[in-house]
Amino acid sequence: EGLYSQVEYGDDEKMIADSCRIINGILFRLRRWLKGYLTLILVDSTVYTICFFFLGVPFFLPLGIIAGCGIALPYLGPVLSCTLTLLVTIIAGTATPEMLLAIVICYLIYNGIVEQFILYPAVIGDSLGLNTLETIVVVLLGAIIAGIPGMIFSLPAASVAKYIIPMIY
């Protein structure tokens, strides 16, 4: 009976150690995801602030920071921050048709191309151990399945799944 309890106790310790290792791996991936998002927000805020400064947008610093935070809300965030930037520029009385067009082009080129196809997969995907194609496919599937929340949480879920599935088998 003493030997049997020793074997059970050893198995329990191994199971607890494996569980802790898996949970630590999951938490590590979630921390990397958050760090990647914060890095992307910092890069976006910097790029938008510089663009707004050179375009002569009033209140370029707060508007650049708000635009940078738009990545936290896919698709809707950039549209809302672009609308806010245009409204502030118009209300401040500094708007010209060329300036308004330049602001929209800045958002379209940076957010629509550079961020979505280059920076987001590189920063967020790489931080989670996903390649560019996996990142794009997972975000699109997340959007199809669960809309905006699916787009936000699909990458950490895919990273955790990519980590856990081999551990289980």
Residue 94, both tokens:
């500094």
pLDDT: is 122 or 31 the higher one? Answer: 31
- By three-state DSSP, how is residue 106 classified? helix
Taking residues 69-92, report their average pLDDT.
91
Could you tell me where the beta strands, DSSP code E, fall in the chain? none
Taking residues 60-64, report their average pLDDT.
96
Which pLDDT belongs to residue 9? 55
Q: DSSP states of the chain as a string?
A: -HHHHHHHHHHHHHHHHHHHHHHHHHHHHHHHHHHHHHHHHHHHHHHHHHHHHHHT-TTHHHHHHHHHHGGGSTTHHHHHHHHHHHHHHHHHT---HHHHHHHHHHHHHIIIIIIIIIIHIIIIIHHTT--HHHHHHHHHHHHHHHHHHHHHHHHHHHHHHHHHHHHH-
Q: Which residue has the tokens 């997972």?
A: 138
24 — pLDDT class (breaks 50, 70, 90): very high
